[in-house]
Amino acid sequence: MRWFGEMWRKGVHLSAILIPLGYYFTSEKTGRRILISLCGIVFLIDVIRLNQPRIRTFFFIFFGRLVRDHERYNLLGATYLMLSSLICAYAFEKPIAVAAIAFLILGDSAAALVGKSIGRIRVFGKTLEGSLACFAVCMATGWVIRLGGQLQQNAGLDLTMIQIVGGAVMATLIELLPVPLDDNIRIPLAAGFTMTLLQ
């Protein structure tokens, strides 16, 4: 049942891939404006949920299975994801921001699903198998973004292989290590800063 609940959570999490995809195919100015609006809406809804008992109860009736215990009286992971996406859009160049957000959504999901389904070797409360899946998915994601930039013959949408490897390694390590900060914040920011330093 725990794995089933995690599958539902990660299914919703994967739908957030629309965020980096949307940002990739729009201009930076338009993408940032959309992210500001979405972030504001999600943050407002979450704050209302936390401060209105009736709304909180209504929320858990419908979405309780998707919510972790620590999110019941704190911001949701989805809110942190929107906040980190907005920060990435302003802190990093476009291809790095897209990759960093995608590493979070796809790599973290792969780590959770593989780790909970076939993971055996425990590391810091997680699994080596999950971490390897995270790294492989991040590498593939970075390669797709790089290929997309090359096909468009647009240097502004390109990533170097060293950036992809560095970002994938950092995303994997930060996902694995027990750092006391929400994954949705630490993974994309750590990966994004690493890729920026490797330019």
| Distance in angstroms (rounded) separating the CA atoms of residues 17 and 149 | 18
Instruction: Please give the model's pTM, rounded to 2 decimal places.
Output: 0.88
**Residue 68 CB coordination number (10 Å):** 12
pLDDT of residue 6: 59
pLDDT of residue 1: 44
With a CB cutoff of 8 Å and minimum separation 6, the contacts of 180 are none
Residue matched to tokens 């909180």: 56
Domain ranges of the chain: 2-197
List the chain pLDDT tens, one digit each, 199 residues: 455 555 666 677 788 999 999 999 999 999 999 999 999 999 999 999 889 888 877 777 666 666 676 677 788 888 999 999 999 999 999 999 999 999 999 999 999 889 888 878 998 889 999 999 999 999 999 999 988 876 665 545 679 999 999 999 999 999 999 888 899 999 999 999 999 999 8
* Cβ–Cβ under 8 Å, residues 99 and 164: yes
